[in-house]
């Protein structure tokens, strides 16, 4: 007889304190996410307008403060659902650079479409090599050219 995995235990082990099992608490967190109206973090570096007139913006950020670390952690934790073998990066390093792609919607709201992480590997004190570590576009926006547009913006 095959024993089934305890998914709650697996999720709790992976997500640690970020795992919610209380239904009411989950609904509160979900409503907070739905009503999120803060501007994207980082510096806007590019705007994209598609054929339908929708506005998209690319923001650049280094992960240095707690608010950005929380967004980074959220993005890191969804990757294993979409990419087999995806690893969570070590956020505490100062050499990670994020590029976020957002859709700008009404009422000063933004919807994240995808992101890219780049790491600077230092060869010596003054030289480094940049490497794309993660590149992810959410499923509903795949095969629409957003990945290519984001890649073209990254001239780092």
Domain with residue 106: its CATH number is 3.40.630.30
135 CB contacts (<8 Å, ≥6 apart)? 114, 116, 117, 147, 150, 151
pLDDT at 87 over 70: no
- Residue 30 counted as domain residue: no
- Residue 143 counted as domain residue: yes
- Residue 115 counted as domain residue: yes
pLDDT at 5 over 70: no
CB neighbours of residue 100 within 10 Å: 22
The mean per-residue pLDDT over the stretch 98-125 comes to 81
pLDDT at 41 over 70: yes
pLDDT per residue as tens digits for the range 7-17: 677 667 666 66
The mean per-residue pLDDT over the stretch 69-73 comes to 64
Q: What is the count of structural domains for the chain?
A: 1
pLDDT at 73 over 60: yes
Q: Enter the pTM of the model.
A: 0.70
Give the domain range for residue 145: 41-153
């Amino acid at each position: 007889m095959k024993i089934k995995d305890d998914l709650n235990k697996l999720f709790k082990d992976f997500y640690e304190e970020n795992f919610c099992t209380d239904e009411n608490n989950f609904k509160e967190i979900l409503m907070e996410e739905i009503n999120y109206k803060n501007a994207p973090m980082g510096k806007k570096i590019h705007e994209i307008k598609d054929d339908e007139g929708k506005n998209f913006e690319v923001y650049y950020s280094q992960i240095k403060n707690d608010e950005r670390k929380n967004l980074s952690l959220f993005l890191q934790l969804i990757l294993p659902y979409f990419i087999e073998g995806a690893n969570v990066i070590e956020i505490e390093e100062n050499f990670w650079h994020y590029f976020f792609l957002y859709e700008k919607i009404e009422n000063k709201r933004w919807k994240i479409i995808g992101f890219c992480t780049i790491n600077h590997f230092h060869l010596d004190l003054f030289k480094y090599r940049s490497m794309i570590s993660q590149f992810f576009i959410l499923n509903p926006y795949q095969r629409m050219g957003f990945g290519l547009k984001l890649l073209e913006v990254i001239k780092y």
